[in-house]
């Protein structure tokens, strides 16, 4: 079993835009609770979690309000970074939106909704 989970970061660039960055979350085998078998887990320090559901999301360019993990649960969104590159994210994809300054990125929905995601803000200093 893989000991990493790939994710896409959206980061601010020096020119005030944003870009995609491929990265990996390191996973370590551990027993998370008594009575459960060991499993691979990665730490995501957080300050709160929100479940979001929306029928459509077609945004103007915007930075992330704070660094946050976005885990797509249902539907597909397309994100265009400030450098013009575009990626699609669907169920199971993990994105770290960390472009908190500058013009940010554009998010649009693809296909029919509803769309669902978990938004997990990172803890200060992470």
The 10s digit of each residue's pLDDT in 41-99 is: 666 656 677 778 777 778 888 888 889 889 999 999 999 999 999 999 999 999 999 99
How many alpha carbons lie under 13 Å from residue 1 in its C-beta half-sphere? 9
Contact 86, 10 (CB under 8 A): no
pLDDT value of position 36: 55
The 10s digit of each residue's pLDDT in 11-42 is: 999 999 999 999 888 877 776 556 656 667 66
CA–CA distance, 118 with 96 (Å, rounded to integer): 12
pLDDT value of position 56: 78
Beta strands in 38-105 (DSSP E): 39-41, 50-54, 68-74, 76-80, 86-89, 94-98
pLDDT value of position 122: 84
Split at pLDDT 50, 70, 90, the class of 123 is low
The pTM for the full model equals 0.73
pLDDT value of position 11: 94
pLDDT value of position 84: 95
Q: CB neighbours of 122 closer than 8 A, spacing ≥ 6?
A: 44, 45, 46, 47, 66, 67, 68, 69, 96
Residue 89 token pair: 């994210």
pLDDT value of position 4: 79
């Amino acid at each position: 079993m893989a000991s990493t989970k790939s994710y896409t970061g959206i980061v601010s660039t020096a020119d005030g835009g944003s870009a995609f960055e491929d990265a990996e979350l390191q996973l370590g085998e551990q027993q998370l609770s008594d009575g459960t078998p060991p499993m691979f887990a990665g730490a995501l320090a957080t300050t709160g979690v929100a479940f979001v559901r929306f029928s459509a999301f077609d945004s103007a360019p915007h930075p992330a309000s704070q660094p946050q993990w976005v885990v797509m649960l249902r539907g597909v969104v397309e994100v265009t970074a400030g450098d013009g590159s575009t990626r699609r994210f669907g169920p199971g994809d993990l994105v770290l939106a960390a472009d908190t300054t500058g013009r940010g990125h554009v998010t649009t929905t693809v296909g029919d909704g509803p769309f669902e995601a978990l938004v997990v803000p990172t803890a200060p200093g992470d």
